[in-house]
């Protein structure tokens, strides 16, 4: 059997504009006309195919992007949101009710961690945190009311790899849904194909790749996506974090170059990770054979996309990290900035920025050094020159 390939699946889609434009026409209407009153009622009840009612529910531009994401992910359906956090929070709230329980990786994105640890207390939803690579801890943390197992394919910022097939098996045994944030590894890994129930993205990062907007996506079964946008009970429909259709149409165009970008991000990151290793700088990168889950990720990956664009370098102290980053920005390695998946290299000190929501003692517990510098390696054409610049800053 031919292996699933996200870019090939995406390329099979034929989406074109109503006037024959090679790009689908942009539709920016908030509401849609009906020629018959009955047709409107039927659309309200979800009984008409291809009819649009109101833009918070569906609109053509969001549908094009959602269809493309579903094709890439191998899911039946998808829905696009105004941010990655909107995707994550809607996806979770749709599955969980008051009094339910979640088991989550402790090394998630800072905003996700804060939502799980602090915000969900409002709804009396209890969350147990585990190290994502510790499957025994996961099994032990499960309770009769566990509804969600939550993890990131590649964790932030330590780049630990989740064993999605094993986690999916545990989730299924206990009737829980496995939700996977695949923001760091679009196309490299296809979580739904590996057994995840729901895949969430911050499209702000690699998928859009231009750092010109904030956006997110939820991919899953048709039944689940329909439940999210149910007029009476859908979290996405009722909380309303819909993506602007003008934005959708611009992200769609960027999605079609994602495979080429991911390959170049990976190639450059692999190069730098090997150079850091030779230089005896402590570095974490899943593409290095010394990475503890190197074999696992190799077995999960779609071929030819490499090991991703993220590397973490341990400079031991915050002072050393700050001084490195300031020099690196000055001589043109990239930008001292949070976020990732941009065409230029971005770097930040995780402990004091993107993981600052995570309390210091938990940062220590998860093995995060205060001098950790996370790199989102850019699309540099001359990566050897970039390494020469980095060396000057170390």
Ligand X SMILES: *Cc1c(COP(=O)(O)O)cnc(C)c1O
* Contacting residues toward ligand X, per CB under 6 A: 83-85, 88, 109, 111-112, 152, 156, 181, 183-184, 202, 204-205, 214, 216
Judged by beta carbon, residue 184 or residue 387, the one nearer ligand X is 184
Q: Given the structure tokens 């205060």, which residue do they identify? A: 370
Q: Which two tokens stand for residue 370?
A: 């205060």
Judged by beta carbon, residue 240 or residue 332, the one nearer ligand X is 240
Judged by beta carbon, residue 27 or residue 104, the one nearer ligand X is 104
82 neighbors 241 (Cβ within 8 angstroms): yes
Q: Which two tokens stand for residue 284?
A: 């974490």
Query: What is the rounded CA–CA span in Å between residue 109 and residue 101?
Result: 19
159 neighbors 284 (Cβ within 8 angstroms): yes
Nearest approach, Cβ of residue 205 and ligand X (Å)? 6
Give the strands of the sheet with 126-130, arranged side by side. 77-81, 216-220, 198-202, 177-181, 146-152, 101-105, 126-130
**Terminal-residue alpha carbon distance, the chain:** 48
Judged by beta carbon, residue 111 or residue 165, the one nearer ligand X is 111
CA atoms within 13 A on the CB side of 42: 11
CA distances from 201 to 71, 128, 186 (A): 15, 22, 8
Nearest approach, Cβ of residue 180 and ligand X (Å)? 10
Query: What is the rounded CA–CA span in Å between residue 63 and residue 80?
Result: 8
Nearest approach, Cβ of residue 224 and ligand X (Å)? 19
Query: What is the rounded CA–CA span in Å between residue 216 and residue 205?
Result: 9
Judged by beta carbon, residue 25 or residue 211, the one nearer ligand X is 211
Nearest approach, Cβ of residue 79 and ligand X (Å)? 15
- Which residue's Cβ has the minimum distance to ligand X? 84
The greatest distance separating any two alpha carbons of the chain, rounded to the nearest whole angstrom, comes to: 71
Nearest approach, Cβ of residue 115 and ligand X (Å)? 10
Judged by beta carbon, residue 6 or residue 157, the one nearer ligand X is 157
Nearest approach, Cβ of residue 354 and ligand X (Å)? 7
């Amino acid at each position: 059997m031919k292996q699933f390939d996200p870019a090939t699946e995406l390329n099979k889609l034929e989406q074109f504009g109503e006037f024959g434009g090679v790009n689908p026409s942009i539709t920016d209407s908030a509401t849609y006309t009906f020629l018959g009153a009955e047709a409107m009622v039927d659309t309200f009840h979800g009984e008409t195919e291809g009819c649009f009612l109101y833009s918070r529910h569906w609109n053509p531009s969001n549908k094009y992007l959602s269809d493309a994401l579903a094709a890439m992910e191998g899911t039946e359906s998808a829905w696009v949101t105004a941010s990655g956090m909107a995707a994550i929070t809607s996806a979770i709230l749709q599955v969980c009710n008051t009094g339910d329980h979640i088991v989550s990786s402790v090394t998630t994105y800072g905003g996700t961690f804060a939502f799980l640890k602090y915000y969900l207390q409002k709804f009396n939803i209890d969350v147990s945190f585990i190290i994502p690579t510790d499957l025994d801890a996961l099994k032990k943390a499960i309770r009769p009311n566990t509804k969600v197992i939550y993890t990131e394919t590649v964790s932030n910022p330590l780049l630990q790899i989740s064993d999605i097939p094993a986690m999916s098996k545990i989730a299924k045994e206990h009737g829980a849904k496995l939700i996977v944030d695949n923001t760091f590894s679009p196309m490299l890994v296809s979580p739904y194909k590996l057994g995840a129930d729901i895949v969430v993205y911050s499209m702000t990062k690699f998928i859009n790749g231009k750092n010109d907007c904030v956006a997110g996506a939820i991919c899953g079964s048709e039944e689940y996506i329909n439940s999210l946008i149910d007029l009476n009970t859908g979290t996405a429909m009722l909380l309303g974090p819909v993506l602007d259709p003008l934005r959708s149409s611009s992200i769609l165009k960027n999605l079609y170059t994602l495979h080429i970008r991911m390959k170049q991000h990976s190639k450059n990151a692999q190069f730098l990770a090997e150079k850091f290793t030779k230089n005896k700088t402590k570095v974490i990168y899943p593409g290095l054979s010394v990475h503890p889950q190197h074999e696992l990720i190799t077995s999960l990956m779609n071929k030819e996309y490499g090991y991703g664009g993220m590397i973490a370098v341990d400079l031991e102290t915050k002072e050393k990290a700050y001084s490195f980053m300031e020099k690196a920005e000055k001589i043109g390695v990239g930008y001292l900035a949070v976020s990732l998946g941009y065409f230029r290299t971005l770097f930040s000190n995780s402990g004091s920025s993107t993981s600052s929501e995570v309390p210091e003692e938990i940062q220590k517990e998860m093995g995060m050094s205060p001098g950790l510098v996370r790199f989102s390696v850019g699309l540099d054409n001359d990566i050897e020159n970039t390494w020469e610049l980095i060396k000057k800053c170390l």
